[in-house]
Structure 1
Amino acid sequence: MKPLAIFKQKLDALFATQSALMQQACYAIGIILSKAISLFLLPFVASRLGLIEFARLETVIALLNGAVIIVSFGMVNLLYRQAGKATNDADKRQIVAQLIGTALCMAILIIVSVFLSFSMTLPLINQITTLSATELLLCTLIISLEGVLGLCLAWLRMEEKAFLFLRSMLMRTLVYSALTVIGLSYDYGLTFLLFASLAASLLQAIELIAHQLKSTGIQFNKPSLWQTLRYGWPFVLSGLAMYASQGMEIVILAQYISPEQLAAYAIAIKFFLIAALCNQPYLLWWYARRMNVLSDASKLNSAGTGATLGVLIAMTTSLLIWFWSEWLITLLFDDAILEAMHFLPWLLAAGVLKQWGALYNLGCFSSENSRAQMYIELSTGAFCAMCFPILIALYGVHGALYTFVFSQFGRLIAYWIVSQRVLHIRYPLTLLTKGILGLVVILMIAILTSMMLPSFSGSDAMAFVAPLTVPLCASIASLVWIVKLGRPYANLL
């Protein structure tokens, strides 16, 4: 153990001396790799569970995500705000210690509350999705831990403990993945998946709380608890607005469509998330860069260029996912999942609109007042919360898809108008138009070629190669086109 401990100390020392860029890279790698590993597990999980149980898993995950937003009570945001305002290191550590203590108190309160109301809570949840008593217990423990874990991870970022953050995230993901593979190989089902998630969370919690005790200690403070309850609710509302715009619809869909169709929709969502994940490297770099650009009046044109390149990258990654999705879904999933191909274009379109809104809002970040962003996000969430139940009841999955596209289009328009009023920025519309036209031409050629290829694929070898040829050529063409467009601007950003 001693050589291992020395090795860990040397790694921590190495990362402590790295630049801010290296620190950000570690945070990005930890988050992206964790999501990527989970996505790689997806075909195995779907095949071992079956479509009905897989649909139930997605519904349970959606419920857990909503519950975590509520029970976390915006404590991570409070941590950043209060610790960021601390005048010295001792005060900062005391604030963090009190918030961690508050999070632990909240976790205990959640567990006790669910136990006391078990006879009412279980039948209520079973009206939404089938859940056993054991599964509800596991879900409660998972939810109660998430608030504590979120605070500990946020403190690691404030301490710039990038390697510990990376190690913690990967350990949790790898433990969960290993237990999932073992459990599903023996057909233990959804209950074991929840146990695997709890076990991985517990291991992460033990490591992070041990670090927290060394770093800040833990204090149980009644005024801190009341302060969290008093000031945390705006962050809860903001989180619920984001949940309403993406996540809540699965819970509603589960009441109106078949498990097979819900499973197909869930797979389409996963492919949509892969497209979003592919955008992260550029976005993480640009979000850190844009504030420096906006602070210099002579570089405002560069700000518009950087945002426009981000939009074109988002469109390109969505096209790449679309090109490969049919072949991958056919190869990796049950035939019933092919219906996901009908849902995916809508989701990708909504995702591109969402990225446009996130990138074409530069004016909002030129001011310290963030109320405009909050009102826009709350309005988007309220629109989705109202439209999802109505349109899903009328049109099923397509009702959810219509809501996605219209809500993100409205969000984009709102951000554009508000942002330009605060700070007028000239976006390179010629670059945007040229990029869109090039990608549309590539898409049309790919569609026409796909329609003609079956007549040429007579042999078994050609039947296998043909579906790969179009995505491969179209992907290369899209990447070459976007690189060609962006290269002249590389030195300006």
Structure 2
Amino acid sequence: MINKIANLPKPLRDSLIYASALAFSKGLALLMVPVATNYLSPQDYGRLDVLQTLADLLSIIIGMGLAESLFRFAGSAANTEERKYAAANLFGMSIVSGLLTLIITQACAPIIANALPGDVSILEARLILFSLALCSVVLVPLAWLRLEEKAGLYFLGSAGMVLLQVSIAIPLLILGLGVNGVLIGTLISTLTLSFVLIYLQFKDTGIAFDFARFKSYSCYGGPLIFVGVAGFILGSFDRWILADEVGTAAMAEYALAAKFGLMTAVLIQPFDLWWHARRFSCYKEVNGAENCARYASLGIVLALFSCLLISMLGPTLVRILTPESYYGAIQYIPWLALLAAIHNATSTLAFGAMSATHTMKPALIDCSAAALALVAYLILIPIYHAWGAIAATYIAMLSRLFVMYLVSQKERFLPFPLLKLMSLSLFSLCLLILTPTTELSLSVFLQSLLLLLSFVGAAIFLGFIPVNKIQLVLLKRQRK
């Protein structure tokens, strides 16, 4: 078995390793769902989600687009020396960012705690903010492992951190530490990973503080902060408004559904981890534009398939893993899964906009979409609550997808099979509407299986899955 995996093409082999890391990490995170929902009240679970969305927001600001800058500048470097020097400077930027974050956020922790919905304590705020400062330090080392195609080390780092976190958090929850127990587990695991990755990065590239380069990297990565903040508004800010409108206990159902919906992104992430790090170099190769379009189209197909799969599995998992008080989350899962697929498709289609020497265009697009979403949240959530949040996000996400595609194609044209992609997307929407969310039975299982097979058949018919080429490659390997 190991020999067969070793003989696979490197892109496929690395994607499998990334998939294993994600499957392991998310499997452990899934294990936490029944523990957390049984040892935390809906009000506590909602408060924990508020803290996690705070971390999502601040990690975007603190990260300063460092990982994307690494892929852009180190990934397109002319030689190994320049590649490592760019990585060393970006590593230096991450250290500076982490230290400044630690000082500023700890000083502001009482203010931040009071500003958040859900009666967040100062201690809870300090714990999550400390972990956040450490996360900013490990961004570049983790991105460097992907760029250098060291998928095995990436697996050990990411999966090991989650294993340690869960191993600490579960006993602390059982002992009655509540939200603080989860946050302590996160802090200890992040601290451990930081020490290991800092050592490996320093050993591989060293560290540099070329402030002239800091400026050029900031010009590229800086606007991505606004892209990230816009992404936060589109993906998480609605929960803050919901918490303020209906309380953290009622918001907990929506928050749980969002976690299952985001598993769509988790399923596609192994492909993204490989492709997003390689797409700039791929474009420079022979037939680069055609290959980029082909890989990006495949990514969209995988996102749609992942959405359907999560829509079918999510309701059953909620019933198995959580108390009945959380069953209200089931109704939201399919539509949040589709939102995750739309978000992923937009990122995949944004290659042209991300290929420039600056990232102002994607920043403007994302900020405009976020402003549209914010206005829609404020209008729709007070009236329709969770469904209002979902409708508002769809309005903004679809607008963003359309504009990003047009701008990216104008910046750097890729020959996408647009009509086929639109046909498959509409077919996927029909399948999503037909997806059963009732309690699992033989008929529900068979109906779900038929819907998935219908999607795969459509993808093959439209030429997104090259069955003949796959058979030819397998035949050649069998002969060897």
Measured in 1, the distance between the counterparts of 2:233 and 2:131 equals 21
Q: Which has the larger radius of gyration?
A: 1
Q: Using a 3 Å threshold, how does the CA distance of structure 1 residues 362 and 296 change in structure 2: closer, same or farther?
A: farther
1:29-428 equivalent positions in 2, closer than 5 A? 29-84=20-75, 86-117=77-108, 120-125=111-116, 128-219=117-208, 232-280=221-269, 313-358=302-347, 373-418=362-407, 423=413, 425=415, 427=417
Amino acid across the alignment from 1:175: L
Identity %: 24
Measured in 2, the distance between the counterparts of 1:226 and 1:405 equals 36
**Residues 51 and 125 of structure 2 are in contact (CA less than 8 Å); yes or no, is this contact kept in structure 1?**
no
CA shift digits 1:287-309 (9 cap, x unpaired): 76899699877996x98887666
Amino acid across the alignment from 1:111: L
Amino acid across the alignment from 2:56: N
Q: How far has the Cα of 1:373 moved from its partner?
A: 4.4
Q: Using a 3 Å threshold, how does the CA distance of structure 1 residues 326 and 119 change in structure 2: closer, same or farther?
A: closer
**Residues 304 and 425 of structure 2 are in contact (CA less than 8 Å); yes or no, is this contact kept in structure 1?**
no
Measured in 2, the distance between the counterparts of 1:342 and 1:73 equals 36
TM-score, length-scaled by structure 1: 0.78
Q: How far has the Cα of 1:357 moved from its partner?
A: 4.1
Measured in 2, the distance between the counterparts of 1:118 and 1:309 equals 44
Q: Over the residues paired in the alignment, what is the CA RMSD in angstroms?
A: 4.0
Q: How far has the Cα of 1:100 moved from its partner?
A: 2.7
Moved more, 158-167 or 416-425: 416-425
Q: How far has the Cα of 1:353 moved from its partner?
A: 3.7
Q: How far has the Cα of 1:394 moved from its partner?
A: 4.0
Q: How far has the Cα of 1:159 moved from its partner?
A: 3.1
Moved more, 40-49 or 476-485: 476-485
Q: Using a 3 Å threshold, how does the CA distance of structure 1 residues 20 and 220 change in structure 2: closer, same or farther?
A: same
Measured in 2, the distance between the counterparts of 1:273 and 1:483 equals 21
Q: How far has the Cα of 1:333 moved from its partner?
A: 1.7
Measured in 2, the distance between the counterparts of 1:296 and 1:86 equals 18
Counterpart of 2:441 (choices 468, 485, 491) is 468
Amino acid across the alignment from 1:327: T
Q: How far has the Cα of 1:163 moved from its partner?
A: 1.6
- Stretches of structure 1 that go unaligned for 5 or more consecutive residues are 1-10, 451-465
Measured in 2, the distance between the counterparts of 1:385 and 1:282 equals 31
Measured in 2, the distance between the counterparts of 1:84 and 1:281 equals 19
Measured in 1, the distance between the counterparts of 2:226 and 2:165 equals 30
CA shift digits 1:294-343 (9 cap, x unpaired): 9877996x988876666555444433433343333233222222222332
**Residues 56 and 259 of structure 1 are in contact (CA less than 8 Å); yes or no, is this contact kept in structure 2?**
yes
Paired residues, number = 460
Measured in 2, the distance between the counterparts of 1:305 and 1:228 equals 30
**Residues 107 and 145 of structure 1 are in contact (CA less than 8 Å); yes or no, is this contact kept in structure 2?**
yes
**Residues 308 and 432 of structure 1 are in contact (CA less than 8 Å); yes or no, is this contact kept in structure 2?**
no
- Stretches of structure 2 that go unaligned for 5 or more consecutive residues are 471-480
